């Protein structure tokens, strides 16, 4: 006995239409725009060029990563080794700053950026403080003794006109290191990166040292955000790579969106109507790949 596929397809179409209809009426909330490793769609990630592009595009914050060099300097780079984003080899922890500064961190992205260097955090602070906010991620601080202390001391001593610089925040996946950072630098906002949801107990306990949570966008829901807001958290979503996802995050009510590029598409009603179909296409692609 053959079962007709028409009722099944009809149900899918009706479901998409109802989803689109409800999506259409949800308000778009304002958000802080955060450039993921700088404007990394347009320039090599975690370089001065990508940070300058983020400023030019009007981002509110630059998100960047720091690691510890062999000689105890905070280096702006994402990976533990230099192979993917430079013309060199080796782990950051095995290289001195002089060795790291000899590397080309731009040619892998485009010949246009040949000769771009791996920056140090103090160089980024000197160049961009006051121009744009900085969201600094400590990469694997639990495996780099002294890193948290050096970062806390640097930021607490980094002042302009005798005042601590505003719009600098620090985050990490490692909870204990963020606890330590908060004790050492209580005036610098601290946050936890999350790749899984938190229960009410952890939301309450983390609030003793964290003021914001950076959450993978697929884990976010309105109910979670409302719970987090009860404890006073700001919620940032990471990492947005498609234009329709901006509106998704705005409708959820996140406070900041970490993305590779700026939001370009207008908040039009027509786009709101077709967004569920675009999401459906992406879902089918994931099933077929």
What pTM was estimated for this model as a whole? 0.86
| Band of pLDDT at residue 267, cut at 50, 70 and 90 | low
Q: Which of the residue ranges 44-53, 111-120, 131-140, 265-274 would you say has the lowest mean pLDDT?
A: 265-274
User: Is 274 inside any structural domain?
Assistant: yes
**Which domain covers residue 104, as residue numbers?**
30-288
36 included as an active-site residue: yes
Best CA proximity match to 256, nearest among 270, 237, 243: 237
Q: Which of the residue ranges 86-90, 183-187, 264-268 would you say has the lowest mean pLDDT?
A: 264-268
pLDDT of res. 285:
47
Q: What are the backbone dihedrals phi and psi of residue 115, each rounded to the nearest 5 degrees, phi first?
A: 90, -5
User: Is 116 inside any structural domain?
Assistant: yes
Supply angle C-alpha 221, 19, 16, rounded to 5: 130
pLDDT of res. 166:
82
pLDDT of res. 272:
57
C-alpha span between 36 and 34 (Å, rounded): 6
User: Is 5 inside any structural domain?
Assistant: no
What contacts 232, CB < 8 A, 6 or more positions away? 207, 211
pLDDT of res. 278:
55
41 dihedral zone (left: phi>0; alpha: psi -120 to 50; beta): alpha
User: Is 2 inside any structural domain?
Assistant: no
| Band of pLDDT at residue 276, cut at 50, 70 and 90 | low
Indicate which residue of 36, 174, 217, 255 is catalytic.
36
pLDDT of res. 13:
61
Residue 286 pLDDT more than 50? no
Average pLDDT of span 191-216:
95
Q: What are 81's strand-pairing partners?
A: 91
Tally the C-alpha atoms within 13 A of residue 124's C-alpha that lie toward its C-beta: 34
Average pLDDT of span 113-117:
98
CA distances for 22 relative to 90, 218, 248, 269, angstroms: 51, 19, 12, 12
Domain count, the chain: 1
Residue 98 pLDDT more than 70? yes
Indicate which residue of 73, 78, 182, 216 is catalytic.
78
For 126-137, write each residue's pLDDT tens digit. Answer: 999 989 999 999
User: Is 71 inside any structural domain?
Assistant: yes
Burial class (CB in 10 A: 0-12, 13-18, 19+), 56: exposed
Average pLDDT of span 35-41:
97
| Band of pLDDT at residue 280, cut at 50, 70 and 90 | low
Alpha helices, H only, 147-268: 147-157, 175-184, 200-206, 222-230, 243-252
For 43-67, write each residue's pLDDT tens digit. Answer: 999 999 999 999 999 999 999 999 9
User: Is 280 inside any structural domain?
Assistant: yes
Residue position matching structure tokens 């009410």: 200
User: Is 20 inside any structural domain?
Assistant: no
| Band of pLDDT at residue 196, cut at 50, 70 and 90 | confident
Domain of residue 198, CATH code: 3.20.20.190
Q: What value does the mean pLDDT of the chain take? A: 88
User: Is 7 inside any structural domain?
Assistant: no
């Amino acid at each position: 006995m053959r079962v007709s596929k028409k009722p099944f397809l009809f149900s899918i179409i009706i479901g998409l239409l109802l989803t689109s209809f409800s999506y259409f009426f949800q308000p778009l909330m304002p958000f802080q725009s955060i450039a993921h490793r700088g404007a990394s769609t347009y320039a090599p990630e975690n370089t001065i060029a990508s940070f300058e592009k983020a400023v030019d595009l009007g981002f509110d914050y630059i998100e960047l990563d720091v690691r510890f060099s062999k000689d105890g300097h905070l280096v702006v780079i994402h990976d533990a080794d230099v192979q993917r984003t430079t013309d060199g080899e080796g782990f950051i922890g095995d290289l001195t700053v002089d060795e790291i500064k000899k590397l080309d961190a731009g040619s892998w992205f485009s010949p246009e950026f040949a000769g771009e260097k791996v920056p140090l955090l103090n160089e980024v602070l000197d160049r961009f403080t006051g121009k744009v906010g900085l969201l600094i991620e400590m990469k694997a601080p639990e495996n780099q003794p002294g890193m948290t202390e050096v970062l806390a001391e640097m930021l607490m001593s980094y002042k302009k006109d005798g005042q601590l610089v505003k719009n600098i925040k620090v985050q990490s996946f490692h909870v204990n290191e963020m606890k330590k950072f908060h004790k050492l630098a209580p005036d610098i906002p601290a946050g936890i990166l999350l790749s899984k949801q938190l229960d009410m107990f952890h939301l309450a306990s983390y609030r003793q040292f964290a003021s914001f949570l950076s959450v993978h966008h697929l884990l976010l829901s309105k109910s979670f955000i409302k719970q987090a807001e009860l404890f006073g958290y700001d919620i940032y979503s990471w990492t947005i790579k498609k234009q329709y996802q901006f509106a998704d995050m705005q409708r959820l009510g996140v406070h900041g969106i970490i993305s590779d590029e700026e939001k370009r598409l207008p908040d039009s009603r027509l786009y709101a109507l077709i967004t569920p179909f675009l999401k459906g296409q992406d879902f089918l692609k994931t099933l077929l790949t």
